[in-house]
Amino acid sequence: MTVTDRRTPVRGGVGTSAPRPDGVAKVAGRFAFSSDLFADGMVWGHVLRSPYPSARIRRIDVGPALAIAGVHAVVTASDVPGVNAYGLEHTDQPVFAEDVVRFTGEAVAAIAADHPETARRAAAAVVVEYEPLEPLVDAEAAITAAPIHPDGNVFAHLLISHGDPAATGDVVVEGTYEVGMQDQAFMGPESGLAIPADDGGVDLHMSTQWLHVDRDQVASALALPPGLVRMTLAGVGGAFGAREDVSLQVHICLLALHTGRPVKMVFSREESFLGHVHRHPCRMAYRHHATRDGRLVKVEARMVFDGGAYASTSGPVLTNACCFAAGPYAVPNAVVEGWAVRTNNPPCGAMRGFGAVQACFAHESQMDKLAAALGMDPVELRLRNAMQTGDRLITGQLISGTAPVAELIRTCSAAPLPPQDPAPDPMARPGGSGRSADPDRVRRGVGFAVSIKNLMYSAGFDDFSTARVRLADGAATVTCAAAEVGQGFVTLAQQIVREVLQVEDVVISAADTSSIASAGSTSASRQTWMSGGAVEGAARAVLRRREAGETGEIEETYEHHHKPTTPLGADGQGDAHVSYVFAAHRAVVDVDLDLGLVRVVEIATSQDVGRVMNPVQVTGQIEGGIAQGVGLAVMEEIVMDGGLVRNASFTDYLIPTALDMPEVTVAALIEQPEPGAPFGAKGVGEPPTISSSAAVAAAVRDATGLDLPRIPIRPQDIALAGS
């Protein structure tokens, strides 16, 4: 082994902009995504989906599909050997529909054929007799409507009662807010390859966020011991929460076992829109009480989240929305009631920001309304109520970690404003390349928003991550099942090992379920902390042995846990969270009042990061998160019509283009090391999305003087009369 000179630190350690190990391959088009997988003898899978949001299935005849040349198998619910259901929290979603379908796009059958086109034609040839039923599409009505599933229509009902529920303030403001259904809109469609094995098991190569939980759901449905379902992470083209639930995993494994051949499936874009969960649309009624000098007295809220047909993570999403209903402020009294309900709309679940996004739009809209009622500067009002270490959440939980909310507000609001004049280039004005806005009709607006969100899973769902580090011949190898979905964990893992062991050559081996235990999900901004902690723990164990004089190959495995959490009690009080992360956003917009067009000119942000692990990656997360936040604010929405998705394509579901993307100014990255976090670093992936939407909405209100209680804000919402 070479002896490293400890006086000259190794390159690419913690705090440097170490390059991504997969970066060059990705930009050069050489990276293999899950849709690029191939195996000899492979056949193609395709899923037949319900065209109805609610219907009884009277009869299924797969005969005509099986008769098509090149079709190897057609499977339905009766072919599922194990439990015909999956789900992250509750196993309430059928692998294949049996007697009823509950949303448009629900899987009814799956086909394996020699060509994807053959499989699609076979799907069209399957005879399914449906008896369409009146769909339940109104979330409020679902609370009391006849159940559309044996488990009932209420996924979760939560009451938080904090302090004195009867408390009142001198000044009271009310508002009702809505957030539309946003899609994660990743580029790489759902895809995977299942290969049957000689031992009766199956090897599944899949783009996902959490290998081990997928494996367990597949094994349960296939009635296989988990060890016979071996999952390997295939190249992931973005996730943002949409790959947390099972999509095609069970279907292709079942087809592989039926045909005895490798089965590959790649969703079309339309299927992708129908085949994964979305961000919950919701309605939130709020009442804020404050003293005349702008101290928050009480926050009341009632939130109804439409969870769609199956539970997915509706419960935890609602818990988050309720816990953070008052925002990053010290609020002595609160009464919050939340519902997450089942409807015949598409299932909703995890998406970047996970419940905090919706709540943030509402609480920040309320803070602006309160500032106006008080005649106070909205930034000053936020500063006056900013949460700090030692304060309590409305769940009664003590904020014991870092909470630099006031610093975030001060630094973000102090960033210099962009030049006042609308851009001379018409492309940079509202309407972009439509050349539709004249500079003299454009009005500038500025809006501010601050957010809070938890890191890690919560409310007693305590998980862990496992990592192994092997040091041999001066090079280290990391084994960890953490899903790299584009966020850059593979880079951080290398940086952490370099930092601890002072070796530059660090290899990240493939993530799979056979070589190591679970790393938990790539979600909840948790992998930097959880898998970062596991990698650090393993590396330090190796270091200790090396420092004790061991030579030759050293290998250590480490399981990292965070401090335990507990479920909320009946009054919504309890220590449900591990740690919190905060961000502030200031949006500057230009609005064309006549045409209802918005151009987001700039987003300035300050973020609570604990420690900057990799400056370039932090910036990447901030810019990407802001793109999704801007999208939700001014354009992104899955349009529903009676349970039918009306814009399941990237031509009709609009996400920001490069021309829509504002300048992003990072005013400050606040580095206050978080106790208990590896290197003091907090996850950075979600905060950029959470308050950027609310800030843009506030800026559009500032420019227009309109209420704008709903996002996305679209042209018809601004100054256009309509009829």
Partner 1 sequence: MKAFEYERPVGVTEAVALARRAGSRFLGGGTNLVDLMKLGVETPDLLVDLTGLDLAEVLEQPDGALRIGATVRNSDLSANDAVRARYPVLSQALVAGASGQLRNMATVGGNMLQRTRCPYFQDVTKACNKRVPGSGCPARAGEHRNLAILGASEACIATSPSDFAVALAALDAGVTALTTEGEVSLTVSDFFRLPGDEPQRDTNLPPGALVTALTVPRLDWATRSAYRKVRDRASYAFALVSVAAAVDLDGDRVRDVRLALGGVAHAPWRATRAEEALRGGPATEEAFSAALRGELEAAEPLPHNGFKVDLAHNVAVRTLTELTGVPA
Q: How far apart are CA 346 and CA 241, in angstroms?
A: 15
Q: Would you give the binding string for partner 1 spanning residues 242-281, x where CB under 8 A is met?
A: --------------------------x-x-----------
Enumerate residues 620-649 that contact partner 1 by CB under 8 A. Answer: 634-635, 639, 641-642, 644, 646-647
Nearer to partner 1, 58 or 292 (CB): 58
Judged by CB under 8 A, the stretch of 115-123, 155-163, 448-456, 689-697 that binds partner 1 is 115-123
Q: How far is the CB of 226 from partner 1 (least distance, A)?
A: 38
Nearer to partner 1, 25 or 427 (CB): 427
**Burial class of residue 553 (count of CB atoms within 10 Å of its CB; 0-12, 13-18, 19+):** exposed
Q: How far is the CB of 624 from partner 1 (least distance, A)?
A: 17
Enumerate residues 26-65 that contact partner 1 by CB under 8 A. Answer: 51
Judged by CB under 8 A, the stretch of 171-179, 224-232, 364-372, 588-596 that binds partner 1 is 588-596
108 binds partner 1 (CB under 8 A): no
Nearer to partner 1, 144 or 723 (CB): 723
Nearer to partner 1, 418 or 615 (CB): 418
Cα-Cα end-to-end distance for the chain: 78
Tokens of 561: 């846990």
662 binds partner 1 (CB under 8 A): no
Q: How far apart are CA 454 and CA 655, in angstroms?
A: 26
Q: What is the 3-state secondary structure (H, E, C) of 70-122?
A: CEEEEECHHHCCCCCCECCCCCCECCCCCCEECCCCCEEEEEEECCHHHHHHH
651 binds partner 1 (CB under 8 A): yes
* Cβ–Cβ under 8 Å, residues 396 and 623: no
Nearer to partner 1, 83 or 706 (CB): 706
Q: How far apart are CA 457 and CA 530, in angstroms?
A: 10
392 binds partner 1 (CB under 8 A): no
- Taking CB under 8 A as the criterion, the residue among 421, 652, 663, 707 binding partner 1 is 652
Nearer to partner 1, 564 or 722 (CB): 722
551 binds partner 1 (CB under 8 A): no
Q: How far is the CB of 435 from partner 1 (least distance, A)?
A: 6
Nearer to partner 1, 285 or 708 (CB): 708
Nearer to partner 1, 557 or 647 (CB): 647
Q: Would you give the binding string for partner 1 spanning residues 404-443, x where CB under 8 A is met?
A: -----------------------x---xxxxxx-x-xx--
566 binds partner 1 (CB under 8 A): no
129 binds partner 1 (CB under 8 A): no
Give the phi and the psi of residue 319 in degrees, each rounded to 5. Answer: -55, -45
* Cβ–Cβ under 8 Å, residues 647 and 272: no
Q: One-letter amino acid identity for 324?
A: F
117 binds partner 1 (CB under 8 A): yes
Q: How far apart are CA 138 and CA 342, in angstroms?
A: 9
Residue 187: CB atoms within 10 Å: 11
Judged by CB under 8 A, the stretch of 67-75, 303-311, 488-496, 593-601 that binds partner 1 is 593-601
Which of 585, 282, 634 minimizes the C-alpha distance to 452?
585
Which of 71, 40, 82, 22 minimizes the C-alpha distance to 193?
40
Nearer to partner 1, 252 or 442 (CB): 442
Q: How far is the CB of 119 from partner 1 (least distance, A)?
A: 12
Nearer to partner 1, 15 or 715 (CB): 715
Give the phi and the psi of residue 70 in degrees, each rounded to 5. Answer: 95, -10
* Cβ–Cβ under 8 Å, residues 249 and 34: no
- Taking CB under 8 A as the criterion, the residue among 380, 462, 505, 660 binding partner 1 is 660
Q: How far is the CB of 578 from partner 1 (least distance, A)?
A: 38
Nearer to partner 1, 441 or 545 (CB): 441
Q: What one-character DSSP code corresponds to residue 189?
A: P
Q: What one-character DSSP code corresponds to residue 516?
A: S
Angle of helix 405-414 versus helix 378-385 axis, rounded to 10: 160
- Taking CB under 8 A as the criterion, the residue among 654, 672, 676, 708 binding partner 1 is 654
Residue 158: CB atoms within 10 Å: 18
What are the percentages of helix, strand and coil residues in the chain, rounded to 5?
A: 25, 25, 45
Q: How far is the CB of 434 from partner 1 (least distance, A)?
A: 4
120 binds partner 1 (CB under 8 A): yes
Q: Any residues with CB less than 8 A from the CB of 192 and at least 6 apart, and which?
A: 34, 37, 204, 205, 206, 207, 234, 248, 249, 252, 264, 265
Q: How far apart are CA 93 and CA 122, in angstroms?
A: 24
Residue 646: CB atoms within 10 Å: 11
- Taking CB under 8 A as the criterion, the residue among 481, 500, 595, 666 binding partner 1 is 595
720 binds partner 1 (CB under 8 A): yes
Q: How far is the CB of 198 from partner 1 (least distance, A)?
A: 36
723 binds partner 1 (CB under 8 A): yes
Q: How far apart are CA 56 and CA 497, in angstroms?
A: 56
**Helix (H) or strand (E) segment spanning residue 465:** strand 464-472
- Taking CB under 8 A as the criterion, the residue among 327, 596, 624, 685 binding partner 1 is 596
Enumerate residues 297-326 that contact partner 1 by CB under 8 A. Answer: none
Judged by CB under 8 A, the stretch of 55-63, 207-215, 483-491, 708-716 that binds partner 1 is 708-716
131 binds partner 1 (CB under 8 A): no
561 binds partner 1 (CB under 8 A): no
Q: How far apart are CA 430 and CA 713, in angstroms?
A: 14
- Taking CB under 8 A as the criterion, the residue among 78, 168, 176, 657 binding partner 1 is 657
Query: What length is written for the chain?
Result: 723
- Taking CB under 8 A as the criterion, the residue among 398, 571, 659, 707 binding partner 1 is 659
Q: How far is the CB of 248 from partner 1 (least distance, A)?
A: 19
Nearer to partner 1, 172 or 654 (CB): 654
Q: Any residues with CB less than 8 A from the CB of 364 and at least 6 apart, and which?
A: 327, 448, 449, 450, 451, 691, 694, 695, 698
169-179 CB burial, b ≥16 within 10 A, e <16: bebebebebeb
Tokens of 387: 């949460």
**Helix (H) or strand (E) segment spanning residue 368:** helix 356-374
* Cβ–Cβ under 8 Å, residues 599 and 590: yes
* Cβ–Cβ under 8 Å, residues 288 and 325: no
Q: How many residues bind partner 1 (CB under 8 A)?
A: 43
Nearer to partner 1, 268 or 566 (CB): 268
Q: How far is the CB of 658 from partner 1 (least distance, A)?
A: 8
Q: From the CA atom positions of the chain, what is the Rg in Å?
A: 26
- Taking CB under 8 A as the criterion, the residue among 357, 597, 681, 698 binding partner 1 is 597
722 binds partner 1 (CB under 8 A): yes
- Taking CB under 8 A as the criterion, the residue among 384, 599, 611, 701 binding partner 1 is 599
Q: How far is the CB of 629 from partner 1 (least distance, A)?
A: 15
715 binds partner 1 (CB under 8 A): yes
Interface positions with partner 1 (CB under 8 A): 51, 117, 120-121, 268, 270, 427, 431-436, 438, 440-441, 594-597, 599, 634-635, 639, 641-642, 644, 646-647, 651-652, 654, 656-657, 659-660, 714-716, 720-723
